[in-house]
Chain A
Amino acid sequence: MKKLLTVIRYECETSFQYIWVFYLALACIIPAVSGIIFLLASEVGNVNCLELNSIIFVSIVGILQMKEDFRMLMQNGFTRTYIFLGTMAQFVFISGLMSLVDTLLGTALRVLLSGYCNYQTIFGSLYGYGHPAVLGWLWLFLVYLLFSSLCFFFALALNRMPKKVSIFIGVAAGILLILGASVLFGTGPWDSFKHRFAALAAKSFGFMADGTIRLVYPLFLLLLYAGLLNVCSYLVIRRAEINDPAAKSIFSLE
């Protein structure tokens, strides 16, 4: 247990510094961009949904987890199960902290900028601003957790796959996406299916047919997806190896 706590501490402590570097960069870039817009157009630039930057940040953390932390912890003799548990703790820590900061920041910006512009948060623009702040934080937390888990899973899967297989899967996924989009947005015999799919998708995001909003559905759905992705990640990481690239290239030449 002591060793596991050390791994969790390593994961959280080393990522903590980057969170503040990220917010510091954001605090410099956003006013600078707004200032340039104000000088050029003589109006206050409409800055909205700053949480999108955090989504990109947690996604990068998810990808880098495999490249940096996994190797470092393997070097130090930890098992894959410990590394996985440490990673989960890191995702929860980063998502929890950043969603809290972003929720507070969003609320503050809405109040502070009320005289200049109508600042929108992602959660507020989707579900309105009448919900308790804790629900907004929980939703955002699960969104960040989902994105970090998704990117971690992709990084793990790509690491396990031969290059040709990953290219094939990428192309196949692209074709499926295009076909799916053409079915969804086109007209044809799929219309009744499309309507049912749209209704189900709206319901799963909490928008009920009678116009009410039930946040419990998206919260449950996000948790379910993140959980499923992490179960898949665990199954992949259990077989993840660090092979000597020199040895591998020698063997592949023979």
Chain B
Amino acid sequence: MNAIQINNVMKRYGRVTALENVSFSFEHGKIYGLLGRNGAGKSTLINIIANRSFADEGEILIDGLPAKENMAVHEKLFCMSAQDLYDSSLKVRDIFKWTDRFYDHFQKDLAFEIAERFSLDTRKRFPALSKGQQSILKLTIALALDVPYVIFDEPVLGLDANHRELFYHFLLRDYEKRQRTIILATHLIEEVANIIEEVVLIDRGKFLLQEPVESLLERGYCVCGPEDALEDYCRGRHVIGRDALGAMKLAYILGKKEELPHGSPLQISNMNLQKLFVKLTEKGGL
């Protein structure tokens, strides 16, 4: 099977469970958004997929091959990490040179082209780069590497709006050329909402949902109006959150959207992905 399969993964830090029996899969040829609040377990899961950390229980399979300590998956997966793992003594161009030697499918020319577009000085050493430039270096390598699965952990950390746009441009250009699996773990949900095809939501170490963005947005909606009418409407429905706007009350609902009867004082509006994410994780589960 062409996919990253995550099977019953558990990870504990002392007495705290960082990941609890997490199971789902990233299929080949899609752009995923791996979403979750701080400390939800996203980076822990990414580190386990990338063999940087070990699961206490469960396993990860990449195209059917175990990801743990297996060189057979070396040319299948690349993980752009939010952590700084690059050799601090190397210059940017030397990091490109070594990545080219480490991987069979690194496009060094493309890496230099992307670096130039981002105005990244390739003569500088890694610690001499600003936080944003370090992110650019990391995402440049990930974009120039032709492997079937690429994970971006907080790819736009420290990047200004122009550079973020440029990154999304390169990402989509790359995806049009060669379909592969791209996993974006980020806090900037609204920025990636139009890019990602499917959402995986993790909260407090637990898998919450995996759904195409389109169908998820269809299922989530907001109803507002006077309290009594709203309470009547919400009865029997899956309310994931509530807000108040003066005398108006708002309810966020997950489920099939139904037409309101004629003359109803209530109004229905769509929710964006960020709002849906906030409400789903606020409640602490589905």
Known: A10-B101, A79-B70, A251-B13. A244 touches B44 (CB 8 A): yes
Within 8 A of A (CB), among B50-98: 50-54, 69-71, 73-74, 77-79, 81-83, 85-90, 98
Using Cβ atoms and an 8 Å threshold, which residues of chain A touch B272?
A: none
Chain B interface, >50% SS class: loop
Bound together, the chains give a CA A24 to CA B219 distance in angstroms of: 69
Q: Taking the complex as formed, is B8 at the interface, i.e. its CB lies under 8 A from any CB of chain A? A: no
- Distance in angstroms from A82 CB to nearest chain B CB is 7
Bound together, the chains give a CA A45 to CA B51 distance in angstroms of: 54
Within 8 A of A (CB), among B8-57: 13-14, 16, 18, 38-39, 41, 43-44, 47, 50-54
Indicate if the CB atoms of A78 and B47 lie closer than 8 Å. no
Indicate if the CB atoms of A78 and B53 lie closer than 8 Å. no
Known: A14-B89, A82-B71, A244-B44. A77 touches B50 (CB 8 A): yes
Chain A interface, >50% SS class: helix
Q: Taking the complex as formed, is A187 at the interface, i.e. its CB lies under 8 A from any CB of chain B? A: no
Q: Taking the complex as formed, is A134 at the interface, i.e. its CB lies under 8 A from any CB of chain B? A: no
Q: Pick the contact of B69: A81, A242, A250 (CB < 8 A).
A: A81
Q: Taking the complex as formed, is A75 at the interface, i.e. its CB lies under 8 A from any CB of chain B? A: yes
Known: A3-B71, A241-B52, A251-B16. A75 touches B101 (CB 8 A): no
Bound together, the chains give a CA A245 to CA B78 distance in angstroms of: 20
Indicate if the CB atoms of A80 and B69 lie closer than 8 Å. yes
- Distance in angstroms from A85 CB to nearest chain B CB is 11
Q: Pick the contact of B101: A9, A82, A242, A243 (CB < 8 A).
A: A9
Q: How large is the interface on B (under 10, 10 to 19, 20 to 34, 35 or more residues)?
A: 35 or more
Indicate if the CB atoms of A242 and B43 lie closer than 8 Å. no
Q: How large is the interface on A (under 10, 10 to 19, 20 to 34, 35 or more residues)?
A: 20 to 34
Indicate if the CB atoms of B83 and A78 lie closer than 8 Å. no
Within 8 A of B (CB), among A205-254: 238-239, 241-248, 250-252, 254
Known: A241-B54, A244-B47, A251-B18. A75 touches B74 (CB 8 A): no
User: Which residues of A are at the interface with B, using a C-beta cutoff of 8 A?
Assistant: 3, 6, 9-10, 14, 68-69, 71-72, 74-82, 238-239, 241-248, 250-252, 254
User: Which residues of B are at the interface with A, using a C-beta cutoff of 8 A?
Assistant: 13-14, 16, 18, 38-39, 41, 43-44, 47, 50-54, 69-71, 73-74, 77-79, 81-83, 85-90, 98-99, 101-103
11 residue pairs bridging A and B, Cβ less than 8 Å apart = A68-B88, A68-B89, A69-B87, A72-B90, A77-B50, A81-B69, A241-B47, A243-B13, A244-B43, A247-B44, A251-B39
Counting from the closest, the 9 A-B pairs by CB-CB distance are: A250-B39, A75-B85, A244-B43, A242-B52, A72-B87, A71-B85, A251-B13, A251-B16, A241-B53
